[in-house]
Structures are given as structure tokens and as C-alpha cells.
Amino acid sequence: MFDLANPIFTDADKAREHLESLYWPKGPTCRHCRNADATRISKLAGKSTRPGVYWCNECGKPFTVTVGTVMEDSKIPLNKWVLAFHLMAASKKGMSAHQLHRMLGVTYKTAWFLCMRVREAMADYEPNKNGGPLGGSGKVVEADETVVGGKSKNRAFDDPAPKKAVVTLIERGGRARSKHIANIDSKHLRPFIMKNASRKSKLNTDEAAYYIHMGREFADHRTVDHSRSEYAYVFDGDTVTVNHAENYFSILKRGIYGTFHSVSEAHMSRYLAEFDFRFNNREKLGVNDAVRSAKAILAAEGKRLTYHQPAH
């Protein structure tokens, strides 16, 4: 259960101990040389030393639990970091920087950059390295695309509302991968789909022409014709639909319309990574809020994000 009375959300020392228990379940490991020998690591203490500083006798360098993570060199108290991870991991449609700014008692600028760091932790920019392509033999992968952004009817001027194209792959009963693309056409869709979906999969799409040639390279390709109000049917024992991808888009769009209101082109990939992370660690896969936030914190290791670092 998500308990806001937990000391890890109010006490910086308790938060640090929580992080150490997550990152170092068997004891401290040097962030610089990966030394895990307890006899070669000592905890520094003294009036001028802050809590949680260790010394590695192997490489001769000090380190803390936040070194080498998105939390490194941050002056934000660790209990606020832990709370931010929990809130963003537990909020199905996202948590705005303005909301965190009010709840954490930090400036909006600090809250915005904190959010971006948490999204950086949630992002998996090499998903095939760990989980492999989506789908596989006998599995179904749904591919669909959409545009997100403001609605023209809500604008004061007649110029079209800015739109951003997004393509998403959904493994039936499994993971999702999304990408912001420049245009919805074969040139931009094909590289993403072919890289992230196993050719052994059964591919489900809508009737768009740009999926026809791609579909021939998969074990099977079935389509639903939305122009004829066709959204699902059963073929050879499988339900042919892209409704799972459509459901993902409904959550994404409600998050952008209702929580963030506007997402810039430069940072769209990080917002998609956030929604992908929550989808891939959802309740139906046996992941509750506490486990999801712990996974996000663990994913922060080995990542850094500075003001001068460009967006992915």
C-alpha cells in the first residue's frame, strides 16, 4: 500500500536508508570501481561529513548511494526524491511539475527538472538488449499510431493546433513501446516496427496502406477496417483488434490533455517513456504502486541528466 505517513517520505535519513536497501541489499558497493568487499569499504563519520558517505579502499574515492544515479549532485532532500518517484509511478495519468512543486515545497523550476530526471530513470533506450523484441512465436503484437496535442476548437486563432505523431506497439498481455515520429508514413513507421517487434509474431493493425508490406514480413498479418466501423473479430481462435493500443492512447491523451496540457517536441520521448514504464509495470502484471516505484528508483542507477544534456 502507498502510505504517505511512511518515514521515507518525511525523513531524509530514512529515505537514504531506503535507497541503500534497494541498491545495496548485500551491503555497500563502490559506485566508482564496483568493489563490494565489506572489508575494503568504510563508512566515514565526523562533524564535517554528512551521513551516508563511504570510502572505498580499493580506488581511494568517497561515494554515496546517489552517485551514478539521476539523483547525483542534487540538493533536493532524498525524502522528496523518494516521494516524487512514488507519486509519478503511482499516478496513472501522470503528475505535473506544478503539482509536485506544490506538494514537495520546491520551486517550479526544481520540480520540472526533478520530473525530467524521474522520466529519464523510467526510460529504457535499449529495450531489445534486456527484454528482446516484443512478441514471438504464437504471440500477437498490435501496432497503431495517433497524434496528440491541442484541439483546434480550443484555440483562439484559426491556425491548426500543434500535433505530435506517436506510434505504439503492444504485446498482447505484455509490454508496450512507443516512439514519437516526424510523420505517419511507411518511412518513419517501418524502422521502429521492424526493430521492436519479432517477425515470428502475429501482427494486428488497422487498414492503413503503409502496414501492408510490413505485414508480409511477419508470421501473420490481420487488419481491422475502422472505415467500416470494424473494431474486433475472431479469426482462427484469435481476436483480431488494435483496441489494446487504442486503450493505451486513451490514457496517454488524457494525461496530456488533463495533467500536462502541453508537451514540447523536444521532450515528447521522455513523456512516452513514462507512460510505457507504468504500462509495463501495471497491476495486471502483478506490480503494485510500491513495487513500481522501487523499480523506477532501481532504474535510475547508471543514468545522469544535466541541464545541458539534449533530449533523446
pLDDT tens for the chain, 312 residues: list them. Answer: 667 889 999 999 999 999 999 999 999 999 999 999 999 999 998 877 888 999 999 999 999 999 999 999 999 999 999 999 999 999 999 999 999 999 999 999 999 999 999 999 999 988 888 788 999 999 999 999 999 976 666 666 666 667 899 999 999 999 999 999 999 999 999 999 999 999 999 999 999 999 999 999 999 999 999 999 999 999 988 899 999 999 999 999 999 988 998 888 889 999 999 999 999 999 999 999 999 999 999 999 999 887 666 555
- The one-letter code for the residue type at 218 is F
Which domain, by its residues, includes 249?
132-280
Q: Could you tell me if residue 110 is inside a domain? A: yes
**Closest by CA position to 84, among listed 66, 70, 68, 103:** 103
Q: Could you tell me if residue 304 is inside a domain? A: no
Q: Distance (Å, rounded) from C-alpha 107 to C-alpha 86?
A: 19
Q: Domain ends where: 73, 101, 126?
A: 126
Q: Could you tell me if residue 308 is inside a domain? A: no
Cell numbers that stand for 90 in this block: 503511482
pTM, two decimals, is 0.91
- Residues in contact with 133: Cβ distance below 8 Å, sequence separation at least 6, in sequence order: 195, 196, 197, 198
The verdict on 234 and 102 lying in the same domain is no
Q: Could you tell me if residue 299 is inside a domain? A: no
The verdict on 23 and 150 lying in the same domain is no
